[in-house]
Amino acid sequence: MTPARWEWDAAAGPARVVAELAAAGVAWVHAPEIAEKAAGDPWAAAERVLGGRPLLVERQPIRAVPGGRSFSSGCMAAPFHTDSQMLLGVPPHVQVMACARAAERGGENLYLDTWCLLARIEREDPTLLADLFTSPRRQPFVFGDVSGPTVTRRGGSLVFTHTARPLPDDGVAARLRPFVDSAEVIEVRADAGDLVILQNHRMLHGRRAFRDDRRSFTRVLAWRPDPWPAPEHWMARAACAADVLDPRVGDALGRVRDSGGHVPSAPVTDHELAAVREVLRGIPPGVVSARQGVPEPDLYRWRDAVVSGFRT
Percent pLDDT > 90 in the chain is: 72
The residue among 251 and 157 whose pLDDT is bigger is 157
| pLDDT for 70 | 86
Mean pLDDT across the stretch 303-309? 83
Burial of 271 (0-12, 13-18, 19+ CB in 10 A): exposed
Percent of the chain with pLDDT over 70: 91
Range of weakest confidence among 160-164, 265-269, 292-296, 304-308: 265-269
pLDDT at 174: 98
How far apart are alpha carbons 131 and 175 in whole angstroms? 10
Q: What is the pLDDT of residue 119?
A: 98
Whole-model pTM?
0.89
Question: With contact defined as beta carbons under 8 Å apart, do 228 and 199 qualify?
Answer: yes
Contact yes or no for 286/60 (Cβ under 8 A): yes
Q: What is the pLDDT of residues 239-290, one digit of tens each?
A: 998 877 764 343 333 333 333 444 454 556 888 888 998 998 889 998 998 8
Decide: 277 and 238 in contact? Cβ < 8 Å.
no
Lowest mean pLDDT among 39-43, 166-170, 272-276: 272-276
Task: Give the whole-angstrom CA distance, residue 190 versus residue 286.
Answer: 25
Tell me the per-residue pLDDT of 134-156, one tens digit each, with 9 for 90 and over. 999 999 998 899 999 999 999 99
Whose CA is closest to 299, among 104, 87, 35? 87
The pLDDT assigned to 312 comes to 44
Q: Is the pLDDT of residue 125 over 60?
A: yes
